[in-house]
Amino acid sequence: MRDFKQLTLTPAIRNLKLCLIVFFVTSSFTFANDEFDAQYYIKRIISAKNTYPYSGVFNYERPDYKSEVYVHQQVNDDGEVHHWVREKGRDEGFLKVNGKVSCVTKAYNNRFRANTVLQTIDENKLENILHYYDVTLSKDESTTAGLSTHELIFKPKEKERYIYKLVFDKKTFVPLQFVFLDQNQTLLEQGAFSQFTYLAGKEEAKPLNNCLRVAQRQTDSEKTNWTIGWIPKGFMFVYSAHEKEGHDHLVYGDGVVSFSIFIEPLTNDSLVNIKKHSGATTLISRKVIGANKLPYLVIAVGEIPSSTALRIASSVQYDQ
């Protein structure tokens, strides 16, 4: 699940990401009675993601943009996972510890969202995922970064979502590639490891210079002075963040993707009625009237179609 805060600050968004989800397979990937247990393999993928130390080169692309980063994951004896991402040819990137962004270099923070390379599926929403997505396994075998892989396809049952594909290592279940498609099968974005190596020992990544600590101000309280009149079916409240008075940030997810709603005092009319796309991510903004009849800016942003984001943003109202 992604933190979309950086998207509201910069037009250049989206670099890499991967989600985690899967299905039942035997070691040879033959299925008993042509059935598979999706929940079981979702858990296997999540476990694999946090079990194996590795390094590699990850390539992200959308129609108007390409990028390449180096990725290094360390797993300590106590199970703590350090995930370093470094931009190619530059000492810029970020560090995630146990799935949360811990620090970001200043230049990287200005150019990209800080929570992108390996997206985490919410294990507590497995039943929700299977209720709102038809999950199937492609029978075609493929190769990613020299490793034999299989592909899961998540086809949404509701038009409020995109089609998502996940390619993973047959032997370890580690995710190696993702693809987002719209309902017309048009490619929105994709990312894949072009080089990938499992690490046998405790090879430590070179620390990033001037990596600035990211403060975590999240709360599980949905309490706010605003009403979100419409939320797509299957999306549930995840967390909120209140950085300062009058500024609200609410996050909702369905277990595979998420969207954020930002509400803050309007300081610049040029920020109103913006509609932007960056790969699978859509941003919609509009003006609403809040406390003391003052104008506020509402931004809906996430891995959702523009029609979904617009309906969400248009449903936000101030509680009198």
Residue that wins the pLDDT comparison between 148 and 126: 148
Check residue 118 and give its pLDDT.
54
pLDDT digits (tens, 9 = 90+) for 153-169: 899 999 999 999 999 99
CA 211, 67, 1: angle at the middle one, nearest 5?
Answer: 65
**Domain 5-213, classified CATH 2.50.20.10, yes or no:** yes
Encode 165-187 in three state secondary structure.
EEEEECCCCCEEEEEEECCCCCE
To which H or E segment does residue 108 belong? helix 106-111
Residue with tokens 């409240």: 237
Residue spans of the domains in the chain: they are: 5-213, 218-318
Taking the CA atoms of 232, 157, 176 and 75 in sequence, report the sign of the dihedral they define.
positive
Predicted pLDDT at 109: 61
**What is the C-alpha to C-alpha distance for residues 240 and 209, in angstroms, rounded to an integer?**
30
CA pair distance 103, 114, nearest whole angstrom: 9
What pLDDT, on a 0 to 100 scale, did the predictor assign at position 117? 54
| CATH topology match: 5-213 vs 218-318 | no
pLDDT of residue 110: 54
How many angstroms separate the CA atoms of 272 and 299, rounded?
9
Q: In this model, does residue 16 exceed pLDDT 80?
A: no
What residues does 61 pair with on adjacent strands? Answer: 66, 190
What is the C-alpha to C-alpha distance for residues 84 and 94, in angstroms, rounded to an integer?
6
Beta bridge partners of 260: 251, 301
> Tell me, what's the pLDDT at 216?
64
77 Cβ neighbours under 8 A, 6+ residues apart: none
CA 150, CA 112: separation in Å to the nearest integer? 29
Mean pLDDT (the chain) is: 83
Quote the pLDDT of residue 259.
95
**Homologous superfamily, domain 218-318:** MucB/RseB, C-terminal domain (3.30.200.100)
Does this model's pTM top 0.75? yes
Output the CA torsion sign for 22, 25, 31, 33: negative
Q: What share of the chain in percent tops pLDDT 70?
A: 84
What tens digit of pLDDT does each residue of 131-142 get? Answer: 999 988 888 889
Q: Is residue 34 left, alpha or beta, with left meaning phi > 0 and alpha meaning psi from -120 to 50?
A: left
| Segment 176-228, tens digit of pLDDT | 999 999 999 999 999 999 999 999 877 788 888 889 988 767 777 778 889 99
Q: What is the DSSP string of 51-77?
A: T--EEEEEEEEETTEEEEEEEEEEE-T
